[in-house]
Amino acid sequence: MHELSLCRSLVRQASRVAAEHGALRIRRVSLRIGPLSGVEAALMREAFPLASRHTAAEGARLEMASCPVRVHCPRCRQEAEASVNDLSCPRCGHWQTRLTGGDELLLVSVDLADTSLPPTA
């Protein structure tokens, strides 16, 4: 299950954000996941509590939003949503498109707790 290693990396990244802002806890982590990313959302939900145990993200809520598959067509010079199983241009049918979205796994935001580290003297 590579989702566990993805969640561990996600927790490290979110923890760095928390440390940069002096926060002790992370309340929420928001992701955007494309259907072509190779990531299973259900497995991410299961792996996140394991990966965040004993970290600033322990107990944080994991929010995931999906994004559409998008392609750019060189023939009609348009960008459009496409099907996961058919990356041809939905406008003109041209099959040599360029993928412009739908394969991403992006950290969108990290919601930090109000509690911050005390100022150092």
Q: Please give the backbone phi and psi of residue 84, each rounded to the nearest 5 degrees, phi first.
A: -60, -35
Q: Would you say 54 is a known binding-site residue?
A: no
Q: Would you say 73 is a known binding-site residue?
A: yes
Radius of gyration of the chain (CA): 19
Tell me if 58 sits within 8 A of 29, measured CB to CB: no
β-partners of residue 86 are 83
Q: Would you say 2 is a known binding-site residue?
A: yes
Q: Which of 110, 104, 108 is nearest to 11 (CA)?
A: 110
Q: Would you say 67 is a known binding-site residue?
A: no
Q: Would you say 76 is a known binding-site residue?
A: yes
Task: Indicate the annotated binding residues.
Answer: 2, 73, 76, 89, 92
Task: Indicate the annotated binding residues for Ni(2+).
Answer: 2
Task: Indicate the annotated binding residues for Zn(2+).
Answer: 73, 76, 89, 92
